[in-house]
């Protein structure tokens, strides 16, 4: 171990140096505190043994300088002193000394003090190495976290790109929506698309669970259901008189294609429908999904209660088509259960009654009313991130 001695008495300095070197240590000895401080600017020492009483810079001042300039790492300091008063020893310890060696001392006592200091130095070095390793690990974790965050943000951007962008152009129906994932990625997804010249298809689905697994399945389903990218499972023959399946057959096809597996245990709820632009007849199926809110132009809104197994939960369930006859000004809202389950700070759910009240209190433009509902949900959550994805797809039949 490399030790620095600061002792103004030549005999004591030489004796101490000889004893330490006989114990196998590398020793540098100087005659004053100022010389010791200068030596520490040039070299690194693991231990300093300094006399208390020295001219110029005494032992306490040298201790203070070492402790207030920790650039060289931790240095174990032993004060060499003839003082034995308790108050003096306390003063030295408060200034930063680690131990004392009282004059006169013998070689065995010196060896014991040095060995005790070595243990402290080794422990400090081990702790420093572990802290440095921890810091490197934390930096790597932070870099990994930032990379994952960038990837999730990009995945979220891609997922949002699957939401309706170019709505079918017509003068019969208008659409508006809310999409608020509880994480970066959502298990909810919805879309609107042209089925043929007279029919518009739409859906809103909710994959059980949250995060990446739910989002991956929701994106897969979005691609599968879209008529522009799907295989022939849902849109078997675009040249025929019926180029698309009925909603109930769509649900059955999805149930067959996406059974709940034994590993991920994933399934999803779905409300899928189509609107005939000529007859204003809405045909739909609900597979474990909350029933739609129907808002007649001249009547009170209501929630249509429906039953049906979620997709993938059981083999060969029976799905039935349901029908709604709509008139100009009527609205229909599809929503995920995150809307009803949205909680305030007291843990109270938003619920069906508040949803009905919210859609009934305003009858302005569809987009403005949907944004008003979104603001109410944000306020109800108290500004907190919701516990579940919140999505809503609303449509309104336009006046003739």
pTM beyond cutoff 0.75: no
**Alpha-helical segments (H) within the chain:** 10-22, 33-42, 59-68, 86-95, 107-161, 211-225, 247-257, 337-341, 351-360, 366-380
DSSP 90-118: HHHHHHT--EEEESS--HHHHHHHHHHHH
- Residue count of the chain, please give it: 400
Q: Is the pLDDT of residue 218 over 60?
A: yes
Rounded distance, CA 69 to CA 36, Å? 14
Rounded distance, CA 172 to CA 395, Å? 10
- Sheet of 390-397: strands edge to edge? 173-180, 390-397, 331-335, 293-295, 302-303
User: Given the structure tokens 């997922």, which residue do they identify?
Assistant: 159
| Minimum mean pLDDT range among 182-191, 243-252, 335-344 | 182-191
Residue 301: pLDDT band by 50, 70, 90 thresholds?
Answer: very high
- Which of these, 180, 179, 209, 173, lies nearest to 191 by C-alpha position? 179
Cβ atoms of residues 307 and 344 within 8 Å? no
Residue 377: pLDDT band by 50, 70, 90 thresholds?
Answer: very high
Residue 242: pLDDT band by 50, 70, 90 thresholds?
Answer: low
Average pLDDT over residues 364-391: 88
pLDDT tens figures, 352-370: 999 999 998 867 789 999 9
Q: What is the DSSP letter of 399?
A: P
Q: Is the pLDDT of residue 204 over 90?
A: yes
Strand ranges inside 146-245, DSSP E: 173-180, 188-194, 199-207
Phi/psi for 86 (5° steps) reads -60, -40
Q: What is the pLDDT of residue 102?
A: 81
Q: What is the pLDDT of residue 145?
A: 82
Rounded distance, CA 355 to CA 376, Å? 10
pLDDT tens figures, 306-341: 888 999 888 889 999 999 999 999 999 999 999 999
Rounded distance, CA 361 to CA 6, Å? 87
Average pLDDT over residues 189-202: 90
Q: What is the pLDDT of residue 169?
A: 78
Q: What is the dihedral of CA 4, 7, 11, 17, to 10 degrees?
A: -10
Which H helix or E strand runs over 153?
helix 107-161
Q: Is the pLDDT of residue 240 over 50?
A: no
The two structure tokens encoding residue 157: 């951007």
Q: What is the DSSP letter of 236?
A: -
pLDDT tens figures, 18-46: 999 998 999 999 999 999 999 999 999 99
- Which of these, 93, 103, 98, lies nearest to 51 by C-alpha position? 103
Q: Is the pLDDT of residue 271 over 70?
A: yes
The two structure tokens encoding residue 83: 């003082």
Q: What is the pLDDT of residue 384?
A: 82
Q: Is the pLDDT of residue 292 over 90?
A: yes
Q: What is the pLDDT of residue 5?
A: 92
Rounded distance, CA 186 to CA 338, Å? 11
Q: Is the pLDDT of residue 147 over 70?
A: yes
Q: Is the pLDDT of residue 52 over 60?
A: yes
């Amino acid at each position: 171990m490399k030790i620095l001695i600061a002792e103004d008495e030549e005999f004591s300095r030489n004796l101490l140096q000889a004893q330490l070197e006989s114990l196998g240590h590398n020793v540098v000895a100087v005659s004053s505190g100022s010389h010791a401080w200068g030596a520490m600017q040039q070299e690194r020492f693991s231990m300093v043994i300094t006399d208390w009483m020295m001219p110029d810079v005494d032992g306490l001042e040298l201790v203070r300088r070492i402790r207030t300039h920790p650039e060289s790492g931790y240095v174990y300091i032993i004060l060499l002193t003839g003082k034995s008063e308790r108050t003096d020893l306390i003063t030295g310890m408060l200034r930063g000394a680690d131990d004392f060696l009282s004059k006169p001392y013998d070689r065995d006592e010196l060896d014991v003090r040095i060995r005790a200091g070595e243990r402290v130095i080794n422990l400090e070095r081990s702790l420093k190495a572990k802290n440095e390793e921890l810091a490197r690990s934390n930096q790597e974790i932070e870099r990994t976290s930032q990379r994952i965050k960038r990837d999730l943000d990009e995945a979220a951007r891609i997922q949002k790109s699957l939401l309706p962008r170019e709505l079918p152009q017509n003068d019969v129906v208008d659409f508006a929506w809310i999409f608020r994932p509880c994480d970066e990625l959502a298990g909810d997804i919805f879309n609107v698309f042209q089925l043929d010249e007279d029919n518009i298809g739409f859906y809103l689905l909710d994959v059980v669970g949250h995060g990446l697994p739910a989002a991956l399945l929701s994106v897969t389903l979005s691609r599968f259901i879209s008529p522009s990218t799907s295989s022939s499972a849902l849109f078997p023959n675009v040249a025929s008189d019926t180029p698309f399946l009925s909603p109930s057959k769509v649900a059955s096809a999805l149930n067959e294609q996406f059974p709940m597996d034994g590993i991920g245990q994933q399934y999803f709820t779905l409300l899928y429908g189509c609107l005939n632009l000529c007859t204003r007849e809405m045909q739909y199926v609900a597979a474990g999904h909350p029933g739609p809110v129907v808002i007649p132009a001249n009547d009170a809104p209501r929630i249509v209660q429906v039953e049906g197994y979620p997709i993938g939960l059981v083999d060969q369930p029976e799905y039935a088509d349901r029908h709604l006859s709509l008139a100009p000004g009527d609205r229909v809202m599809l929503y995920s259960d995150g809307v009803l389950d949205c909680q305030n700070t007291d843990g109270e759910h938003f619920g069906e009654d508040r949803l009905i009240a919210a859609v009934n209190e305003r009858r302005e433009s569809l987009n403005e009313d949907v944004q008003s509902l979104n603001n109410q949900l944000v306020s109800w959550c108290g500004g907190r991130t919701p516990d579940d994805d919140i999505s809503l797809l609303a449509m309104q039949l336009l006046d003739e």
